[in-house]
Structure 1
Amino acid sequence: MVSPNPVQAPPHIHALLTRLHQESTVQEEALGPYLTTTPAAFDALMRDKFIALDEDKCRFTYQLALATGARNIAEVGTSFGVSTIYLALAVGRNVARLGGEGRVIATEKESNKAARARAHWAEAGDELVARWIELREGDLLETLRGDVPLLDMVLIDIWAPVALPALKLLEPRMREGAVVLVDNSISSAERYKELLAHLRSPTGGYTNLTLPYSKGLEMSVWHGAATEG
């Protein structure tokens, strides 16, 4: 049975997303067991690789953003901007029905990936996608120190060593009930060991659930930093 697609968008955006997910799948299959490399080798290997968040995870993220009314989202690791399209579509719908303002703060260090992402967003169109995205290019541990609205959701799909520092930068700007999603929380559990320990700590301020998608998808809800006593 084919799972229904919750994404509401015109045909050209659906066609774009289908093409990009197919390209990502081909690239990932060609890489083989890339997660077994050393951290330094992995970083170098992935610098120019087109690996997007899995399509079913993207659809779930979109649906979750609609369910929670998310209007301000931070994407920690944008790469070629595929998952960003889903986030922007959801933010646009939420602003239309709830009012106010909204944006997706996208982060990308590699200039070639940032350029490709902008091209994909332009192809999707300004009205439904590009207008909702603010791309911060450069070291995210610096770019996320700037103006950040009160966040409803954070999507983390980034090189593991910077994941926890990035989240700690964003926590003061996360509303109570904000959702944090971490990709590959099963397959990369060792790489994300410090991040997952922080999320799952009894005093960390989160409740957590590992969703049974391929390679895992961690869903954590922020309740505010726990206090002593």
Structure 2
Amino acid sequence: MSAPTPNPVVAPDHVLALLDRLHQESLTQEAALPSTYLASGGFDDLMRDKFIALDQDKSQFVYQLARATGARNIVEIGTSFGVSTIYLALAVGSNLDNLGGEGKVIATEKEHTKAEKARQYWQEAGNDLVTRHIDLREGDLLETLTKDIPQIDLILLDIWAPVALPALKLLEPKLRSGGVVILDNSISSATRYKELLEHLRSPKNGYTNLTLPYSKGLEMSVKL
């Protein structure tokens, strides 16, 4: 029998158990979705009560990346029920404890019901560990991300494709040299993310790019 895959996340047992539970609920919901849901005209209504969280192995990678780079300020574009946000907040909290300074996870969510559910999960994880490191901004992210943005170390893009590139362009002036952009589903949704991927991969925009071989793809772009 092969050894279990190591989990890099440093957190109390109740937080790790919460993350395992939420990922399992997300997998169960995703498996029950109709195969045509992405083309559905009622997409917003269909997804309003769904997790569709960043996969657990991807979440662990982003956590590890944030720790390795000492990320203090992270923007999450597409928070949903806040599962991946827990990983980001844990990483930022650990980095601040070890390196000092100030920092936040700026999380964005349009749907009030999802934002409220995210807050419940963050509270369950713990205020000192998670909630206090998150600045949740509800509403249209093209409005909520126009002010009070610090220098950014990492951007996680896991959102409906049409708003992804405008959101990135809004944040790029604040993305530091060496800052990282992570895009989920860069293989399975390559057509929908065509303009965004072209932007990231164009030499004139100053990124180096790597498609990581996770399920459905995970694009890692580093700002030069």
Pairwise TM-score range, normalised by the shorter structure: over 0.9
Distance apart, 1:43 and its partner CA: 3.4
CA deviation vs aligned residue, 1:168-202 (integer Å, no higher than 9, x gap): 00000110000000000000001111100100111
Question: Alignment identity in percent?
Answer: 71
**Amino acid across the alignment from 2:174:** R
Closer/same/farther in 2, CA of residues 144 and 20 from structure 1, 3 Å limit? same
Q: Which residue of 1 aligns with 2:96?
A: 95
Q: Which runs of 5+ in 2 are unaligned?
A: none
Q: Which runs of 5+ in 1 are unaligned?
A: 224-229
**Amino acid across the alignment from 1:53:** L
CA deviation vs aligned residue, 1:108-151 (integer Å, no higher than 9, x gap): 00000000000000000011100000000000000000110100
2:105 is the counterpart of 1:104: yes
Q: Which residue of 1 aligns with 2:23?
A: 21
Distance 2:12 2:39 in 1: 40
Query: 1:115-134 to 2 correspondence within 5 Å?
Result: 115-134=116-135
Distance 1:101 1:64 in 2: 19
- TM-score, normalised on structure 2? 0.96
Deviates more, 1:27-36 or 1:94-103: 27-36
Q: Which residue of 2 aligns with 1:57?
A: 58
Q: Which residue of 2 aligns with 1:226?
A: none
- TM-score, normalised on structure 1? 0.94
Q: Secondary structure at the match of 2:107?
A: strand
> How many correspondences in the alignment?
222
Query: Do the aligned partners of 1:43 and 1:159 also contact (CA within 8 Å) in 2?
Result: no
Q: Secondary structure at the match of 1:73?
A: strand
Q: Which residue of 2 aligns with 1:173?
A: 174
Query: Do the aligned partners of 1:21 and 1:55 also contact (CA within 8 Å) in 2?
Result: yes
Distance apart, 1:3 and its partner CA: 1.1
Query: Do the aligned partners of 1:144 and 1:169 also contact (CA within 8 Å) in 2?
Result: yes
Q: Secondary structure at the match of 1:33?
A: coil
Distance 2:55 2:47 in 1: 16
Distance 2:50 2:129 in 1: 27
